[in-house]
């Protein structure tokens, strides 16, 4: 068995060997606790037939644990300085492919088809750079990739927003967008002390299990998400005020918005955060013809 990368001593030795310094702009925080890494991997329920997509492998601490417990790992790394380090640290593992690309610009579907060909069970597992967490998760879901789910470490407050229920302060358009595609659960809280450098915030791991069909049936997904975003534009405003001010031509169509709310039994004085995803689906269907 190879020595774990994710120990304070080994991490320090690797960074010193390569003269590596952390770039704040890339949100680099490396995990130095093998127990935490193993627990993250546990939550992904991998088998020897699972293919894994990782984003931001750093020096390979999580990658190594994934490689030991899956068929193949494809890791996207944006920082060129880490490529020689990964080549070194992951040299014992023949089932890892590091791709030097920004995952937000990559054609992930094409890369899955090529690198994970013939693998039916695919998971995304990553310690995400905190400054791009939401765009990465939304890209993975909106592109409807052939994945079973996503297990990622992110800022605790973002995890709370993603898994929030209606009527809570954390619930918003992000909660709805993610829960439309997946069943979302926060599976563990991770203290700052297990990272170098230590981040300023606590972290959490969420597991998103992709639904076979979205939580609600909507005719026009873009319009549905447009309505949910508009409804949370100013949290203290009523749903009627937000829709009137945020939708194109909303002020002129106030009567139609009122009628749509009335048709689906939504009180126009309610706030966006009190509506369930089902109510948003009904509302977007009722408003669709007025805004096309």
pLDDT of residue 261: 95
- Contacts of residues 188-197 at CB distance under 8 Å and 24 or more positions apart, as own/partner, are 188/39, 188/40, 188/43, 189/156, 190/36, 190/153, 194/31, 194/32, 194/33, 194/36, 195/29, 195/30, 195/31, 195/32, 196/8, 196/11, 196/12, 196/29, 196/30, 196/32, 197/22, 197/29
Mean pLDDT of the chain: 93
Same domain, 113 and 229: no
Same domain, 143 and 262: no
Percent of the chain having pLDDT more than 70? 98
**Domain boundary at 171, 186, 210, which?**
210
Number of domains in the chain: 2
Which residues contribute to the annotated binding site for S-adenosyl-L-methionine? 29, 31, 56, 77, 102, 127
* Pair type for strands 149-155 and 203-210: antiparallel
Q: Is the pLDDT of residue 21 over 80?
A: no
Span between the terminal Cα atoms of the chain, in Å: 61
Q: How far apart are CA 272 and CA 288, in angstroms?
A: 18
Name the pTM for this structure: 0.92
**What CATH number is attached to the domain comprising 266?**
1.10.8.100
Q: Is the pLDDT of residue 25 over 80?
A: no
Q: How far apart are CA 124 and CA 208, in angstroms?
A: 10
Q: Which residue has the tokens 């269907």?
A: 285
Query: Around Cβ 197, how many Cβ atoms within 10 Å?
Result: 11
Same domain, 65 and 193: yes
**Domain boundary at 183, 210, 237, which?**
210
Same domain, 146 and 204: yes
Same domain, 237 and 195: no
Q: How does pLDDT run across 39-77, given as a tens digit for each residue?
A: 999 999 999 999 999 999 999 999 999 999 999 999 999
Contact (CB, 8 A) for 205 and 187: yes
Range of the domain at 202: 8-210
Does some domain include residue 2? no
Which residues contribute to the annotated binding site? 29, 31, 56, 77, 102, 127
Percent of the chain having pLDDT more than 90? 79
Does some domain include residue 3? no
State the average pLDDT over residues 273-285.
Answer: 97
State the average pLDDT over residues 78-89.
Answer: 93
pLDDT of residue 24: 65
Q: How far apart are CA 227 and CA 286, in angstroms?
A: 11
Same domain, 182 and 38: yes
pLDDT of residue 232: 95
* Pair type for strands 30-31 and 121-127: unpaired
Q: Is the pLDDT of residue 26 over 80?
A: no
């Amino acid at each position: 068995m190879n020595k774990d990368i994710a120990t304070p001593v080994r991490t320090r030795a690797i960074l010193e060997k390569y003269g590596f310094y952390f770039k704040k702009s890339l949100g680099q925080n490396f995990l130095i606790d093998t127990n935490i890494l193993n627990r993250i991997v546990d939550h992904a329920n991998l088998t020897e037939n699972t293919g894994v997509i990782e984003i931001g492998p750093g020096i390979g601490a999580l990658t190594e644990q994934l490689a030991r417990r899956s068929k193949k790992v494809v890791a996207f790394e944006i920082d060129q300085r880490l490529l020689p380090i990964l080549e070194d640290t992951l040299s014992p593992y023949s089932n890892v492919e590091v791709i030097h690309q920004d995952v937000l610009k990559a054609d992930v579907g094409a890369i899955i088809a090529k690198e994970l060909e013939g693998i039916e069970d695919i998971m995304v597992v990553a310690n995400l750079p905190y400054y791009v967490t939401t765009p990465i998760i939304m890209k993975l879901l909106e592109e409807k990739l052939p994945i079973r789910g996503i297990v990622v470490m992110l800022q605790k407050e973002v995890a709370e927003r993603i898994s929030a229920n209606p009527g809570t302060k954390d619930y918003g358009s992000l909660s709805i967008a993610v829960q439309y595609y997946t069943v979302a659960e926060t599976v563990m809280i991770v203290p700052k002390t297990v990272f170098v450098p230590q981040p300023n915030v606590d972290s959490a791991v969420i597991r998103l299990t992709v639904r076979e069909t979205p939580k609600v049936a909507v005719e026009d997904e873009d319009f549905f998400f447009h309505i949910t975003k508009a409804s949370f534009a100013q949290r203290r405003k009523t749903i009627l005020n937000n829709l009137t001010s945020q939708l194109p031509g909303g002020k002129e169509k106030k009567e139609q918005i009122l009628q749509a709310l009335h048709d689906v039994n939504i009180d126009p004085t309610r706030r966006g955060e009190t509506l369930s995803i089902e109510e948003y689906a009904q509302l977007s269907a009722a408003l669709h013809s007025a805004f096309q």
